[in-house]
Amino acid sequence: MSESNRFSRRSVIKGAGIAAAASLAPAVFTGNRAFGAETITVADVGGVTSGAIRTAFYDPFEKETGIHVVGVVHDSDPVTQFKLLVDTQSFIWDACMVTQDHVARLSQPKNYLAPLNIAASQGQDILPGMLTEHWLGFSVFGIVMAYRTDVFANNPPTSWADYWNTGKFPGRRGLYKSGWGVLEMALLADGVAPQDLYPLDVDRAFKKLDQIRDKVSLWWTAGAQNTQSLQSGEVDISDTWSARGYAALAAGTPLKMLWQGLYSVDGWSIPLGTPRTDLARKFVEFCMRPEQQAVYSGLVANGPSNRRAFEHLSAERAAVLPSSPENFKGLRELDSVWWGQHYDEVTERFQEWMLG
């Protein structure tokens, strides 16, 4: 999970030029290797994650196949961009990094996604639900709690109910400025069992949020801000995206992550109709490989979807990854279908609630 720049007409024109140039470039295929200037453009989330994706996937894929990968950055919510390029047939991307809730919104009521054509037998080592007809998940992130151990050394929180208990667990609190993920934490704090979260009881969640709103010191809006606030001590306890919490931990912050909450997955989908669909499919299939996923998860603290990737990772590294068996058992999958159906209305209500 990450952030990126706003979408603009200029970026459409520039991207369309890249894609057009790529589509006109000649290439000769021999076996699995493409010789010449075949190019695909892949949209990812940018930042540190983008660099890890290039190292783990883009560059090795190009070396093996000869197909050049141009990496570009999409909006933090790429659904509008994705729909626009399919509707206008301006294929500035050939694959895009999306979550399950993005996929749900890109599938109904109109489908914008090309089938991956990956046989189920090829996905036998992929975690359940992370390979579908139109999407391959490869980057598992947790929505969990992080707290500073120097502040809570003698009385560490052990649940989301403890986050809400400011009397017993005093400290400066951070919370994501969005209903996405936050409603679930409120319900967990109110005693709802993880398996009973969905469909979300929105009224109950906002009632629980009423109890904490005035006690939140920082409503964070970006992953980098979340990391910095934990690292600097601006907040003592916060929800976090697991890789963002780990970034603070890796920088030397006395921090512990509590593996209770949700997980979601970033993955690849292909815009329906791109003239480079077959090349994009080769790329997505390449990203299933356990050794490549292990390289990625060794660079950023997002977990692999291929179970066999852990054969290529140390026990120390596995301990900070959401999809490692020990951590994964404490997480419940964020219901992308529910959010796909209710995202706009919940977002509007949350914004109104923030205004008081």
Residue 68 inside a domain? The answer is yes
pLDDT value at position 172? 98
Does 128 lie in the same domain as 96?
yes
Mean pLDDT of 11-30: 35
Residue 323: inside a domain? no
The predicted pLDDT at position 221 comes to 95
Which of 5-14, 102-111, 279-288, 293-302 shows the lowest mean pLDDT across its residues? 5-14
Which of 47-51, 146-150, 282-286, 329-333 has the lowest average pLDDT? Answer: 47-51
Say if residue 255 is in the same domain as residue 350: yes
Question: Is residue 50's pLDDT more than 60?
Answer: yes
User: Would the pLDDT of 126 be above 80?
Assistant: yes
CATH number of the CATH domain containing 112:
3.40.190.10
Secondary structure (DSSP) of 4-70: -PPP-HHHHHHHHHHHHHHHHS-EEEETTEEEE--EEEEEE--HHHHHHHIIIIIHHHHHHH--EEE
Say whether both 110 and 53 belong to one domain. yes
Measure the CA–CA gap between 328 and 341, rounded to whole angstroms.
26
In a domain, 278, yes or no: yes
**247 and 158 housed in the same domain:** yes
Buried b (16+ CB within 10 A) or exposed e, 237-251: bbbbbbbbbbbbbee
pLDDT tens by residue, 127-139: 999 999 999 999 9
Confidence of residue 27 (pLDDT cuts 50, 70, 90): very low
Same domain, yes or no: 85 and 198: no
Q: What percent of the chain has pLDDT over 70?
A: 90
- The answer to whether the CB of 297 falls within 8 A of the CB of 304 is yes
pTM score, two decimals?
Answer: 0.80
Per-residue pLDDT at 81 exceeds 90: yes
Say if residue 152 is in the same domain as residue 183: yes
3-state SS, residue 301 = coil
Q: What pLDDT was estimated at residue 1? A: 53
**Cis status, amide bond into 170, omega within 30 of 0:** no
130 and 148 part of one domain = no
Residue 10 has pLDDT above 90, yes or no: no
Q: Please state which of the ranges 12-16, 194-198, 308-312 shows the lowest mean pLDDT.
A: 12-16
Domain annotation covers residue 209:
yes
What is the model's pLDDT at position 101? Answer: 83
* Same structural domain, 233 and 273: no
Residue 34, in any domain of the structure: yes
| Cα–Cα distance for residue pair 239/216, rounded to 1 Å | 11
Total count of domains within the chain: 2
Residues 345 and 294 in one domain: no
Q: Are residues 116 and 242 in the same domain?
A: no
Domain with 226 in it: 141-264+332-354
**pLDDT band with cut points at 50, 70 and 90 for residue 48:** confident
Residues 104 and 239 in one domain: no
In a domain, 287, yes or no: yes
In a domain? residue 83: yes
Q: What is the per-residue pLDDT for 356?
A: 84
Question: 138: helix, coil or strand?
Answer: strand
Instruction: Indicate whether 282 belongs to any domain.
Output: yes
pLDDT tens, residue by residue, 206-263: 999 999 999 999 999 988 899 999 999 999 999 999 989 999 999 999 999 999 999 9
Mention every residue, 6+ apart, whose C-beta is less than 8 A from residue 185.
Answer: 143, 160, 163, 239, 261
92 and 114 share a domain?
Answer: yes
Q: Pick the range with the lowest mean pLDDT from 118-127, 155-164, 292-301, 334-343.
A: 334-343
* Residue 156, C-beta contacts closer than 8 angstroms, at least 6 positions apart: 147, 149, 256
Residue 9's pLDDT is: 28
Cα separation, 237 vs 352, whole angstroms:
25
